Amino acid sequence: MQKKLISAILGVSIVASLFAAPVFAEDAAGTYALITKSAGNPYNEKEAEGFQKAVEAMGGKAVIQHPEAATADAQISVIQSLISQGVDSICIAANDSNALEAALTEAMASGIAVCSLDSATNADSRAVHVNQAGTMEVGQALIDAVLDLTGGEGQWAIVSATSQATNQNAWIDAMKAIAESDDKYAGLELVEVAYGDDEPQKSTDVTQALLTNYPDLKVICAPTTVGIAAAAKVLQDQKSPVKLTGLGLPSEMAEYIGDDDAHACPYMFLWNPIDIGRLGAYTSAALVAGDITGEAGETFTAGDMGEYEIVEAADDGTEVILGPPFKFDPSNIGEWKDVY
Ligand code: RAM
């Protein structure tokens, strides 16, 4: 009788544990903040969606802040207010690598766990950076696309986001370094890096100016989802022969992707912006729980995303890398345009 009762209790608890909430649920009860680069950018909204979902799956509370402008100043006032609120962690897509240092070190000194995602803060102002893909890998994919789309030589230009954006600047530097390291890129001439500040109208204007100022331009590379969407519209509306590549959201770029003259962009790259938000949340929770400190070699479980390892980053800090960049072209854009 007693045996039956014990096995019944054991059975129930085994079944209950099969359906139990994720292991993190209790550990993760806390308040986890995300500061994106700016409001009004669909990429940042996807990032926030993933962050929020993961925090809620862990049983925590997410505080999502989209600053009004893509500037360090706008982010500093958000950081100050999160310090006063006493959140457990801040995960930030940095609009400037150095300008946030004072505010973020103050946050860390007050016991808040700090990591960056998407766009890194400097190594002294974070425990770890959550990178969407290896910086050199992104640079390699982009410069090879430029080489391919120019046909091996000729003028190309960049439409970037803000001039201080750590991620865009890192990808641009990677493209330049790779182009200088191998003779096969010697025929490429980078004529200008233009900044659209992740604002659609400014990105449209700078694209237009590039077309006016460089009549021999062959390719524009926009390593920003806002810039590439604006440039695509300008080029396609004007039936320009200039070809476009870069980093774009499939949902915004589907109508511009194609192999023929009617389409501006033969192919582009990205990663899943929802997943970068999720990984930012799991990294924040692992820091808050003390499972990691941000040292290279540490590993942690990012919920249902699985195991991740912290590695050395190029800036003397450390990072966690989501995965390789993914290529979107006419063969797969249809599958992805409704996803993100
Ligand atoms: C823009 C932002 C973001 C970047 C993507 C590719 O939306 O600048 O930081 O990661 O493009």
Please say whether the beta carbons of 275 and 263 come within 8 A: no
Which ligand 1 atom minimizes the distance to the CA of 198? Answer: 8
Please say whether the beta carbons of 189 and 214 come within 8 A: no
Q: Going residue by residue through the chain (340 aa), what tens digit of pLDDT does each one get? A: 344 444 444 444 444 444 444 444 445 789 999 999 999 999 999 999 999 999 999 999 999 999 999 999 999 999 999 999 999 999 999 999 999 999 999 999 999 999 999 999 999 999 999 999 999 999 999 999 999 999 999 999 999 999 999 999 999 999 999 999 999 999 999 999 999 999 999 999 999 999 999 999 999 999 999 999 999 999 999 999 999 999 999 999 999 999 999 999 999 999 999 999 999 999 999 999 999 999 999 999 999 999 999 999 999 899 999 999 999 999 999 999 999 9
Question: Which of 162, 225, 279 to mutate for ligand 1's pocket (most ligand atoms within 8 Å of CB)?
Answer: 225
Residue 87's Cβ-side half-sphere holds a number of Cα atoms within 13 Å equal to 27
Distance 225 CA to ligand 1 centre (A): 6
Which ligand 1 atom minimizes the distance to the CA of 224? Answer: 11
Q: Whose CA is nearest to atom 8 of ligand 1?
A: 224
Distance 224 CA to ligand 1 centre (A): 5
- The closest of 313, 324, 339 to 116, measured between CA atoms, is 313
- The closest of 318, 321, 317, 295 to 308, measured between CA atoms, is 321
Q: Is pTM, for the whole model, over 0.85?
A: yes
Distance 6 CA to ligand 1 centre (A): 56
* Protein residues with CB under 6 Å of any ligand 1 atom: 37, 41, 43, 93, 118-119, 161, 165, 167, 198, 224-226, 247
Residue 80's Cβ-side half-sphere holds a number of Cα atoms within 13 Å equal to 7
Which ligand 1 atom minimizes the distance to the CA of 168? Answer: 8
Distance 292 CA to ligand 1 centre (A): 27
Distance between CA atoms of residues 240 and 171, nearest Å: 26
Distance between CA atoms of residues 230 and 252, nearest Å: 10
**Cβ-count burial of 191 within 10 angstroms (0-12 exposed, 13-18 middle, 19+ buried)?**
middle
CA dihedral sign, ordered 19, 320, 122, 295:
positive
Distance 141 CA to ligand 1 centre (A): 16
Q: Whose CA is nearest to atom 7 of ligand 1?
A: 225
